[in-house]
A = this chain, B = another copy of it.
Amino acid sequence: MKDIYISDVAAFDEGRSFDSYFLVLAKQQRLTKTNKPYLNLMLGDRTGQIEGRIWDPADPRIAKDFEKGDIVKARGSASRFDERVQMKIDQLRVALPGEVEKSDLLPATTYDVDALWNELISTIGCFTNGDLKRLLLLMLEEPAMRAAYREAPAARQLHHAWLGGLLEHVVSLLRLADRVAAHYPLLDRDLLLTGVILHDIGKTRELSWVVGFDYTVEGILLGHIQFGVDMVNRAIDTLPGFPERLRTLVVHMILAHHGKLEFGSPKLPMIPEALVLNFVDDLDAKMQAMQTEYDKCEREGKSGEEMTGKVWSLDNRQLLHTRKWLAGEKK
Give the B-binding residues of A (Cβ under 8 A): 13-14, 30, 33-35, 80, 83, 172, 175-176, 179-180, 182-184, 186, 188, 191, 215, 217-218, 220-223, 225-226, 229-230, 233, 243-246, 248-249, 251-252, 255, 261-273, 275-276, 279, 282-283, 286-287, 290-291, 294, 305-307, 315, 317-323, 325-326, 328-329
Contacts and interface: CB of A to CB of B under 8 A. Distances in A.
Contact of A290 (B172, B188, B225, B272): B272
Contacts of A306: 217
B307 A246 contact: no
Contact of A251 (B191, B226, B249): B226
A223 B328 CA distance: 21
Contacts of A322: 188, 191, 249, 271-273
Copies in the complex: 6
B221 A33 contact: no
A287 B271 CA distance: 10
Contact of A180 (B176, B223, B261): B176
B264 A266 contact: yes
B179 A182 contact: yes
| Residue with the highest number of chain B CB atoms closer than 10 Å, among A188, A290, A315 | A290
Contact of A220 (B83, B305, B318, B328): B318
A223 B267 contact: yes
A270 B225 contact: no
Q: Which of A188, A221, A276 has the most CB of B within 10 A?
A: A221
Contacts of A290: 186, 272, 275
Given A179-B179, A307-B270, A249 B261 contact: no
